[in-house]
Structure 1
Amino acid sequence: MRLLRLGPGIFFAKGKLILKKGISMEPEKAFEEAQELDTIIIHDDGAILIKEHPWKVLSELINSNQNITIKPSAPLILMRSPNPRKMLELIKDRVEGRILDPKSAILNSTPDETVILTTKSPLNRPVPFTAIEGGIIVEKEFQDVYRFLILEAPMLISEIEPHWNEITIKLYDSTNHYKENIERLIITIEDLDIGFIVSEGWDWDYPRPLLRVPVYRLKLLTWESPERIKFLLKGLEYSNYKRLCDIDVIVEGRKIGWFEVGKFKSKFEIAKAARKELEELLSDTTLARLREIEEKLAKTI
């Protein structure tokens, strides 16, 4: 689970700009599609998103001898929090700064400052500009601010959300395709970025007296509710009404029942709704891998 990362490098260009790479679009759209350390060049006609790191792009612009003026924005740091606005207030108390809306923070900053943007969204993918809930301009060099956040981010998060849920997830597979189902579980949790995996291993479960079955056990530390985790993982249990595995979600020794996650008439109805949401949330790469594994599993059941 990532708590902070760098944003794209943003440059403001004046003059006739000639570029043989990148995609032209509106500035907000460029930010929405940019990943960590991509490059955005904003000019009179809009913005250009270049999927390369800023140092490479800037050196190419300098060596091209174009009659343009380039001004960099302040370095951007994106920070994830269950309460983004409270996070801004905490940062302001610790390092001082000016809290502004995200766009104003970027436009009114200088290269000698640092802009921190806060969001609830996962940071392992592009973050839409609409998901940024606030920004703060810190009048300190980037290296100092980044070093502070690297060290203090866990403490800041704990101050905002002192109670984290320690969830035990147990996976049982009656067809003994544990390798494939464990991979499905892990890549889903990691891609959704819903918590810290603090331990994993094997255990025994006793569904009935004198019946002992092997289970894969994973412990997850998360600020998401157990019911939310149960719902999402329900989307991995079935494929076209074929059961691929059983996944239990346990908190403080109590197993969360399927009827606790919402008003659904059956497990199949939950699984269908959960799968639909997973397909909306997961990255294309992870979703493709899930489908590849599930196609192989379906042939063995």
Structure 2
Amino acid sequence: MLSIVRGGPRILLLKGNEAAMKSLVSSKFRCTEHTLEGAFDSAGEGQSVILFRGGPRGDDRRFLMAAAAADEILALFLNSGYEAWPLSVRIMPRLLFFRVFGEKERVIGQIARDYSAERGRLRSVLRVARKGSIAVCFTAKPLNRSLSIADMMDEVLHVEGVSFEKLLNSLRSRALWYFSEGLENRQWNELEIRIYDSWGRYLDHYERLRAVLESLEAGMILGEGWGKDYAHILMAVKIYRLRLFTFLPAQTIKEILMGLEYGADGSRLVDFDLFSGKEKISWGGIGGKSKTRGDRGSIGTDLRAQLFSQLFPEDRKHLEEWERRILRRRTGEGRTDPSERK
């Protein structure tokens, strides 16, 4: 699937007995202390970032990240003893994250016009919010993970006069249309991926591929199933194929596939072919991007390292486990080339 818009953490600015407030929140919710950038990097949707007014400033200023919604924290204070009551509470703008790809200004400009939004900069989300203010932040990164400040674009839209829930639902209903506005020619690519494996571990490689596509949020799988290809006249080869609907160029998908073809030791695990319509996408033009600029194996090894650097740590771990399992199953089978099409 593809996530295009989601909510962000709530930022609270509290004044009062910092030690008592911090102790109370930490006793009820899972909390960690961070710098501002660290808190922003770690906080996800439904969590809160708390800043205590009157504390140290500069690099020593610490933010408390709590795994709880803002209303849960405020209810906790309201029901607590007087000592932990905040003297004042200021709420920063609500945050929404929107993913863009390609021509970002076309997307941001259209959203700004549709919602009569005021343009601002990323640092403006730390200003005290006007009533009902919502900050829409933009990133090119997938939204299925925590986002760092470095992942965010500097452009921010401030929307007023609409509730957070209504704006979120409205953007979600239009998200795919807005996202497509930024694409070259405003078109998605429908590609076919064919899996060849002379050891017959098709579904292992399918699961590896699906895990990567989901981790990168690279598009949507529209269909899949078994089929046949003909490496030579009258010689049928069993394949597993899937149709991918993606906003990424075909060459980028080819690089992902080549990175999945090779294991950590450089061994060939599988053969992926990529088609756009009837045209087979070749790996020949990819060599210029490789550090080694060598043969297919060295290019694939480089692309594997590039791919793994973009994945969640848990996804990298699962892929490595799949690789080891695949190689163990080959022990004693004799064949060494998965592209051997029988």
Shorter chain as denominator, the TM-score bin is over 0.9
Q: Which has the larger radius of gyration?
A: 2
Determine helix, strand or coil for the equivalent of 1:215: strand
Tell me, in whole angstroms, the C-alpha distance in 2 between the residues paired with 1:238 and 1:163: 31
Pairs within 5 Å for 1:3-22: 3-17=4-18, 18-19=22-23, 20=26, 21-22=30-31
Deviation of the 1:144 alpha carbon: 2.2
Deviation of the 1:27 alpha carbon: 1.3
Residue 44 of structure 2 is aligned to residue 35 of structure 1: yes
Deviation of the 1:108 alpha carbon: 4.5
Deviation of the 1:291 alpha carbon: 1.2
Tell me, in whole angstroms, the C-alpha distance in 2 between the residues paired with 1:287 and 1:267: 22
Worse overlay, 82-91 or 5-14: 82-91
**Counterpart among 142, 150, 162 of residue 164 in structure 2:** 142
Deviation of the 1:111 alpha carbon: 5.1
Residue 300 of structure 2 is aligned to residue 271 of structure 1: yes
Match of 2:276 in 1: 251
TM-score, structure 1 normalization: 0.93
Residue pair 2:221, 2:242 contacting (<8 A) in 1 also = yes
Tell me, in whole angstroms, the C-alpha distance in 2 between the residues paired with 1:276 and 1:158: 29
Amino acid at match of 1:160: G
For residues 184-228 of structure 1, what are the alpha-carbon distances to aligned partners after superposition, in whole Å with 9 as ceiling and x for unaligned?
010011001111222222221112111112211122222211111
For residues 220-252 of structure 1, what are the alpha-carbon distances to aligned partners after superposition, in whole Å with 9 as ceiling and x for unaligned?
222211111111221111212322211111112
Worse overlay, 11-20 or 147-156: 11-20
Tell me, in whole angstroms, the C-alpha distance in 2 between the residues paired with 1:116 and 1:178: 42
Gaps of 5+ in 2: 56-60, 331-342
Tell me, in whole angstroms, the C-alpha distance in 1 between the residues paired with 2:77 and 2:196: 56
**Counterpart among 148, 165, 168 of residue 128 in structure 1:** 148
Tell me, in whole angstroms, the C-alpha distance in 2 between the residues paired with 1:154 and 1:34: 25
Residue pair 2:191, 2:243 contacting (<8 A) in 1 also = yes
Deviation of the 1:106 alpha carbon: 4.2
Distance 1:108 1:57, change over 3 A: closer
Deviation of the 1:120 alpha carbon: 0.7
For residues 230-287 of structure 1, what are the alpha-carbon distances to aligned partners after superposition, in whole Å with 9 as ceiling and x for unaligned?
1122111121232221111111211111112232311111111111112211101111
Distance 1:172 1:56, change over 3 A: farther
Tell me, in whole angstroms, the C-alpha distance in 2 between the residues paired with 1:187 and 1:275: 14
**Counterpart among 306, 309, 334 of residue 280 in structure 1:** 309
Determine helix, strand or coil for the equivalent of 1:77: strand
Tell me, in whole angstroms, the C-alpha distance in 2 between the residues paired with 1:206 and 1:91: 49
Tell me, in whole angstroms, the C-alpha distance in 1 between the residues paired with 2:220 and 2:63: 36
Residue pair 1:2, 1:193 contacting (<8 A) in 2 also = yes
Distance 1:249 1:202, change over 3 A: same
Distance 1:25 1:156, change over 3 A: same
Deviation of the 1:4 alpha carbon: 0.8
Determine helix, strand or coil for the equivalent of 2:287: coil
**Counterpart among 177, 198, 201 of residue 201 in structure 2:** 177
Determine helix, strand or coil for the equivalent of 2:51: strand
Distance 1:100 1:265, change over 3 A: same
Residue 81 of structure 2 is aligned to residue 67 of structure 1: no
Tell me, in whole angstroms, the C-alpha distance in 2 between the residues paired with 1:88 and 1:109: 21
Distance 1:173 1:141, change over 3 A: same
Tell me, in whole angstroms, the C-alpha distance in 2 between the residues paired with 1:57 and 1:214: 58
More strand by share: 1
Matched pairs, number: 301
Tell me, in whole angstroms, the C-alpha distance in 1 between the residues paired with 2:239 and 2:255: 20
For residues 133-159 of structure 1, what are the alpha-carbon distances to aligned partners after superposition, in whole Å with 9 as ceiling and x for unaligned?
121110122122112101111121223
Residue pair 1:72, 1:111 contacting (<8 A) in 2 also = no
Deviation of the 1:86 alpha carbon: 2.8
Deviation of the 1:23 alpha carbon: 1.6
Tell me, in whole angstroms, the C-alpha distance in 2 between the residues paired with 1:110 and 1:262: 53
Match of 1:102 in 2: 122
Residue pair 1:76, 1:116 contacting (<8 A) in 2 also = yes
Residue 81 of structure 2 is aligned to residue 81 of structure 1: no
* Paired-residue identity, %: 27
Gaps of 5+ in 1: none
Match of 2:138 in 1: 118
Distance 1:13 1:182, change over 3 A: same
Tell me, in whole angstroms, the C-alpha distance in 2 between the residues paired with 1:163 and 1:229: 16
Distance 1:95 1:257, change over 3 A: same
Deviation of the 1:79 alpha carbon: 0.5
Residue pair 1:11, 1:72 contacting (<8 A) in 2 also = yes
Tell me, in whole angstroms, the C-alpha distance in 2 between the residues paired with 1:230 and 1:9: 39
